[in-house]
Amino acid sequence: MSKLVLRNVSRSFGDFAAVDDLNLTIEEGELVSLLGPSGCGKTTTLRMMAGFLSPTAGTIEVAGKVVSSPGSTLPPERRNMSMIFQSYAIWPNMTVAENVGFGLKIRKTPAAEARRRVDEILEVVRLGALRDRYPAELSGGQQQRVALARSIVVKPAVLLLDEPLSNLDANLREEMRFEIRRLHDEFRITMVYVTHDQAEAMVTSDRIAVMNKGRIEQIDSPYELYCRPKTGFVAGFIGRTNFLEGARRGDRVDFGGFSLPVATLGSEAPTRTATPPVAADANGATNGSGASDARVRVSVRPQCIQLHRTQPSAADHRFCVPARIERRAYLGESWDYHVGMPGLQEPLRVAARPQEVFEVDDEVFAEIDTSQVTVID
């Protein structure tokens, strides 16, 4: 049975729909993040899960039991969930161990057992040696670990985290992402993780629900989201990408100065054909055998284009287009080239390895890995 199920959940404030007909199923032991820009409804969704807020439509179920509906909402203290907020407020007048043990105390856990569980969790979050310190004597990361330990020690059915790392500096944030994933793996807690940071979501999550304007645009594994974005919003929000607009002409998509065969686009496991596909025709559109003229929008990641000085021979699902370097920036780990291609209004961004050096105005061949090109709605 699924752990947490949101069915057609909406929440309006006045006539503004902050969350709009959301459907989401989270399995036992899964870590799912809600990822989206500020104001898209992440916190509102989380607060409904926790019971701080009622939905204006729809239901929320935990382990098959309805806990929220417009008419009745089980209060937070009866949901066996823990929530960690942006400001993870630990009590300044309590030691680390007292902070962590507080939830057990109010649940009237016997002292010996409480002590054992607090010790255990402090070891896991590597705070054993600091158990008698006060929050003011801890670094930001250590305080964040106290908040995590305090939420986990009570063995919540679901742990909800709302941008828990946003008050930490960049290095610490990166370290804590792995820490949160490690804690999840160790305790297998069902977790919902809210963030606007795509890298954070990708490191921590089994699946990511990408939210936009109160709705989920796509929910998938980090790999699928990156490689198979279904909408332009998702393609642009998860990593960098190039958008191209073309017209469907027969079995090809025509981009003005070159065209690509529809069948190869986004086909991760290309079937080998007897005759290898020919290189894209730089002179423009191919035959339009009874073609519809439908517009097609595709996303091409900067690292799915490779630049060559001379034209390579055609290989399966790789297509070469003459191009010109218009701008370049050296980023240390890679080159960021802006490459003009026939028929395109905007140059394409190409990420190349540091040793692949081209000068501005160089005439090159841009090889597009069509299996990595995705057609989006």
Ligand X SMILES: Nc1ncnc2c1ncn2[C@@H]1O[C@H](COP(=O)(O)OP(=O)(O)O)[C@@H](O)[C@H]1O
- And the tokens for 20? 């709009």
In the complex with Mg ion, the residue whose CB is nearer, 87 or 311, is 87
Cβ-based nearer residue to ligand X, 162 or 254? 162
In the list 33, 43, 73, 195, the residue contacting Mg ion (rule: CB under 5 A) is 43
41 binds, among Mg ion, ligand X, none (CB under 5 to 8 A by kind): ligand X
Using CB under 6 A, which of 5, 9, 41, 302 touches ligand X? 41
Residue 172's identity, in one-letter code, is: L
CB of 232 to ligand X, least distance (A): 20
| From 22, 26, 31, 40, residue interacting with ligand X (rule: CB under 6 A) | 40
Residue 301 tokens read as 């990641």
Contacts (CB under 6 A) with ligand X, residues 312-351: none
Q: Considering the complex, what minimum distance in angstroms separates the CB of residue 11 from ligand X?
A: 8
Least spacing, CB of residue 165 vs ligand X, in Å = 15
Nearer to ligand X, 48 or 97 (CB): 48
Q: How many residues bind Mg ion (CB under 5 A)?
A: 1
| Burial class of residue 118, CB neighbours in 10 A (0-12, 13-18, 19+) | buried
195 binds Mg ion (CB under 5 A): no
Q: Which of 4, 10, 22, 42: binder of ligand X (CB under 6 A)? A: 42
Select 48 or 325, whichever has its Cβ closest to Mg ion: 48
Phi, psi of 150 (to 5 degrees): -60, -35
- Give the interface segment with Mg ion, choosing from 41-49, 106-114, 244-252, 308-316 (CB under 5 A): 41-49
Nearer Cβ to Mg ion, position 43 or 144? Answer: 43
Give me the least distance between CB of 195 and ligand X, in Å please. 10
Is the separation of the CB atoms in 303 and 366 below 8 Å?
A: no
- Exposed / middle / buried, residue 122 (Cβ in 10 Å: 0-12, 13-18, 19+): buried
283 contact, one of Mg ion, ligand X, none, CB 5-8 Å limit per kind: none
Rounded least distance, CB 45 to ligand X, Å: 7
Partner whose footprint covers residue 257, from Mg ion, ligand X, none (CB < 5 to 8 Å by kind):
none
| Residue 39 binding ligand X, by CB under 6 A | yes
Tell me: does residue 44 bind ligand X (CB under 6 A).
Answer: yes
Does residue 38 belong to the site contacting ligand X (CB under 6 A)?
yes
Using the rule CB under 5 A, is 68 a contact of Mg ion? no
Taking the complex as a whole, how short is the minimal distance between the CB of residue 43 and Mg ion, in angstroms?
A: 3
Which of 43, 259, 306, 374 binds ligand X (CB under 6 A)? It is 43
3-state secondary structure the chain: CCCEEEEEEEEEECCEEEEEEEEEEECCCCEEEEECCCCCCHHHHHHHHHCCCCCCEEEEEECCEEEECCCCECCHHHCCEEEECCCCCCCCCCCHHHHHHHHHHHCCCCHHHHHHHHHHHHHHCCCHHHCCCCHHHCCHHHHHHHHHHHHHCCCCCEEEEECCCCCCCHHHHHHHHHHHHHHHHHHCCEEEEEECCHHHHHHHCCEEEEEECCEEEEEECHHHHHHCCCCHHHHHHCCCCEEEEEEEECCEEECCCCEEEHHHCCCCCCCCCCCCCCCCCCCCCCCCCCCCCCEEEEEECHHHEEEECCCCCCECCEEEEEEEEEEEEECCCCEEEEEECCCCCCCEEEEECCCCCCCCCCEEEEEEEHHHCEEEC
**Distance, CA of 363 to CA of 178 (rounded, Å):** 43
Q: Which is nearer to ligand X, 13 or 178 (CB)?
A: 13
Site for Mg ion in 107-146 (CB under 5 A): none
Stretches 36-44, 70-78, 101-109, 227-235: which one binds ligand X (CB under 6 A)?
Answer: 36-44
Stretch near ligand X under the rule CB under 6 A, chosen from 35-43, 127-135, 183-191, 333-341 = 35-43
Which residues bind to ligand X, rule: CB under 6 A? 13, 18, 36, 38-44
